[in-house]
Amino acid sequence: MIRGLHRTTLLALAGVFLTLLAACDRPPQLPRLNDGDTIVAFGDSLTHGTGTTEDQAYPAALSRLIQRTVVNAGVPGETTAEGLERLPEILEEHQPKMVLLCLGGNDMLKRQDTAQTESNLRQMIQSIKSTGANVVLIGVPEPKLFSGAPDFYEKLAEEFSLPYEGEIFNDVLKDNSLKSDPIHANAEGYRVVAERLAELLKDTGALQ
């Protein structure tokens, strides 16, 4: 009898452990998006779609995949300081339910202070969340060989409990078949980005 109880306890503990492990692998969960909800993709040339047409940029590709309005609010060459200034107008105009935030690459190219880049992104996240919209953070790889996104992206994601995709552009830009130049994707690369983001949104519970 005691041996049977011991085995039952072990099985129960194993079940709890597996449940906790699965929860750790899941990104932070988000409210379900309704059909009429608007998503804003806010960023620079990687969001704008430099290297392909606007119809093949990742916001347009994502919109087709998830059957939701995804506004392309990407401005080539924009830094986080410029994005911080532009953001309130975009939020007021589109009143999004969700913002896909992907900025920082131009700060790195211009060798701007990393702490200031982090601060600008933090202020943008706070501004978006103050409207009631959710944020999905997308990391941008450093413009050098064998490097991923800087640590401050993951730090901010943990600070605000945000869904975070830190490898997507790093993976695409390491594959010559998926890029139009050293720092931009091509149409196929942006399609891969859209597919990965759609999967992330499903994992967060925002989409079925």
Q: pLDDT tens track of the chain, all 208 residues? A: 545 545 555 444 444 343 333 345 789 999 999 999 999 999 999 999 999 999 999 999 999 999 999 999 999 999 999 999 999 999 999 999 999 999 999 999 999 999 999 999 999 999 999 999 999 999 999 987 657 999 999 999 999 999 999 999 999 999 999 999 999 999 999 999 999 999 999 999 999 8
Q: Which CATH homologous superfamily contains domain 2-204?
A: SGNH hydrolase (3.40.50.1110)
pLDDT digits (tens, 9 = 90+) for 119-130: 999 999 999 999
Examine the residue annotation and report whether 181 is marked as an active-site residue of this protein. Answer: yes
pLDDT recorded at residue 7 = 54
What pTM does this model have?
Answer: 0.87
DSSP readout, 5-54?
HHHHHHHHHHHHHHHHHHHHHSPPP-PPPPTT-EEEEEESHHHHTTTS-G
pLDDT digits (tens, 9 = 90+) for 98-119: 999 999 999 999 999 999 999 9
pLDDT recorded at residue 146 = 57
If one counts every other C-beta atom within 10 angstroms of the C-beta of residue 169, the result is: 27
pLDDT recorded at residue 144 = 75
Quick check: 75 and 44 in contact, CB under 8 A? yes
Examine the residue annotation and report whether 180 is marked as an active-site residue of this protein. Answer: no
From the candidates 55, 151, 175, 181, give the one annotated as an active-site residue.
181
Quick check: 97 and 37 in contact, CB under 8 A? yes
Q: Would you state the torsion angle of the CA atoms of residues 157, 163, 166, 168, taken in this order, to the nearest 10 degrees? A: -160
From the candidates 44, 45, 48, 107, give the one annotated as an active-site residue.
45
DSSP readout, 126-195?
HHHHHTT-EEEEE----SSTT--S-HHHHHHHHHHT--EE-SHHHHHHT-GGGEEETTEE-HHHHHHHHH
Examine the residue annotation and report whether 44 is marked as an active-site residue of this protein. Answer: no
